[in-house]
Copies of this chain bind each other. A is one copy, B any other.
Amino acid sequence: MIALKRNKIVLIGAGNVATHLGISLQKKGFEIVQVYSRTEESARQLAEKLHAGFTTDSKNILPADVYFFSLPDSVLPGTLKTLPDLPGLFVHTAGSVPMTVFAPFHPRYGVFYPLQTFSKDREIDFRNIPVFIEANNPEDELLLRQIASELSDSVTVLSSEKREYLHLAAVFACNFTNHMYVQASKILEDRNLPRELLLPLIMETAEKIKTLSPLEAQTGPAVRRDKITMERHLNLLENDVLARQIYQLLSRSIVFSSEQQ
C-alpha cells in the first residue's frame, strides 16, 4: 500500500467532483501534485486546499501517475487536444462519456465514476459512495480498483455502456427527484407556507425504500385511482401549465407502473 500512495495525482478540473475527490484522496495519503483549471480562481482555490500547485495553461501540466479529468462533458475532448505529451493513466469521472474518448490521445486510460451528487459546500463521506471503474488494460483496472478501494467500500468494474444507464437512472433518482422538491416548495411558498414543513415527509419517502421496493412504497391518489382528488389537484394547478402537465403525466405513469407489477 505504500507503493500505491506514491502515485502522483493531477486533477484536471476544479469543480465539485474534483474538489470532493481531491480532498478525499489527500485525506487517504495520496499526493495531489497539481490542479489544472481554465479559471485561475478555481484552480488556485482548490490547489490551496490540497497544498498543490496549479496552472491554467494545459502546456504546463506536470508529469504524474494518474490524471483525473473532472470537466464538463462538452469540454473534455477539446482539452485533450491541447495537452502536451504526458505519462501515466488518464481517467475521467463522467457518467455518460465512453472510456474511448481518450483513445485518440493517450495509450492508457479509464474511468472512475462516483455515483453521487456533489455540492461545493457539503461535506461528503466517500466511504458510502459507489464507485464504478473501467480501464483499457488489466494493470490499470487493478490500479484504479486499489485507489477506489482506499476511498470507498463499494467499487465495481462497469462497462461504458452500462455506466450510461447508471447515469440515466441517477438523473431520475437525483435530478428529477430534486425537481419534485422544487415544485412542492413552490406550491407552499406561493401560499406563504414554509417549505421546511415537507422535510420529514421527504426524508421518510427516501428512508422507506431502504426496506421496501419503490413499487411497494408507492402511495397517493394516482396509485389509489382516486380520481376525485386528482381532479381537485389539477384544478389547483390551473395557472401553472408545466406543473399540470407533470401532474398528469406522472399520475398516468404511476397507474401504468402499478399495472405492470
Contact = CB atoms under 8 A, between A and B. Distances in A.
Interface in A163-194: 164-188, 190-191, 193
Interface in A144-160: 154, 156
Nearest to A226: B73
B171 A218 contact: no
Contacts of A175: 218-223, 254
Nearest to A232: B96
A208 interface: yes
A165 B188 CA distance: 7
A229 interface: yes
A85 interface: no
A246 B253 contact: yes
A74 interface: yes
A177 B174 contact: no
Count this chain's copies in the assembly.
Answer: 2
B119 A182 contact: no
A217 interface: yes
A214 B204 CA distance: 17
A117 to B, nearest CB: 5
Interface in A221-248: 221-224, 226, 228-229, 232-233, 236-237, 242-243, 245-247
B218 A179 contact: yes
B176 A246 contact: yes
Tell which of A74, A176, A201, A247 has the most Cβ of chain B within 10 Å.
Answer: A176
11 contacts: A96-B232, A116-B204, A117-B208, A162-B191, A166-B197, A169-B188, A173-B198, A173-B202, A178-B208, A178-B209, A242-B252
Given A156-B197, A174-B201, 12 more contacts: A96-B233, A115-B197, A115-B201, A117-B208, A169-B188, A172-B184, A173-B181, A175-B254, A176-B183, A179-B253, A184-B214, A249-B249
